[in-house]
Amino acid sequence: MGSDKALLEYRGRTFLSHLIYLVLPRVDEVVAVLGHNAERIERTIPDCPRVRSVVNHDYDRGMLSSLQKGLVATAGEPDWVLWMLVDHPAVRGRSLDALVAAAERAGAPLVIPRYNEKRGHPIMLSKAIAAELLGLEANRSPQDVVRSHYPEACFVDTADSGVLRDVDRPLDYRDLVSSSKA
């Protein structure tokens, strides 16, 4: 992408601070896992006792290392963890509400949003799935674990295309910014 996604602006805030403010009313604690340019990104994190950051010095090893760092940093052993990617800033609060509500009533190990039959993010991870992810070797991906549990996952259908909107390229970012002004 050429720049830190966490620092890109969306709706008057950085991606990361936008997501933190979106998630805070819905969770007990937010753990932001930082990697490249951690010090610079950390300065943009809202000052709130329920928000912490941890630095993954091995971020170049991939998403699994960051996810594991975040899971280790969660307070206690929460029943559910909301796994949210910083490059999906367009997700709506009502989608998060639906995921949290489904996790509270579902007997499933995962709660995954869908838009037009396509799976998206963020994902609610049960305590059992979090433990499985913590035990993964570096040569596997978190997606391997998630996919292996699709048969028993709870899928939440939503009218929110933001669950699919991944900002990986400059064109994706331009589209995101122009659509948020419409």
pLDDT in tens, 106-141: 789 999 999 999 999 999 999 999 999 999 887 788
In CATH terms, is domain 5-181 a member of 3.20.20.220?
no
pTM for the structure as a whole: 0.92
Domain boundaries, the chain: 5-181
Q: What pLDDT score was predicted for residue 2?
A: 66
Q: What does the pLDDT read at residue 80?
A: 94
* pLDDT of 123: 97
Cβ contact 128:109 at 8 Å: yes
Q: Determine the pLDDT at residue 107.
A: 86
| pLDDT at 86 (0 to 100) | 96
The pLDDT score that the predictor gives to residue 140 is 80
- Token pair belonging to 33: 């896992």
Which residues of the chain carry a pLDDT beneath 70? 1-2, 182
Instruction: Give the pLDDT confidence score for residue 129 in this predicted structure.
Output: 94
| Cα–Cα separations (whole angstroms), residue 128 to 26, 64, 71, 158 | 21, 16, 12, 25
pLDDT at 182: 59
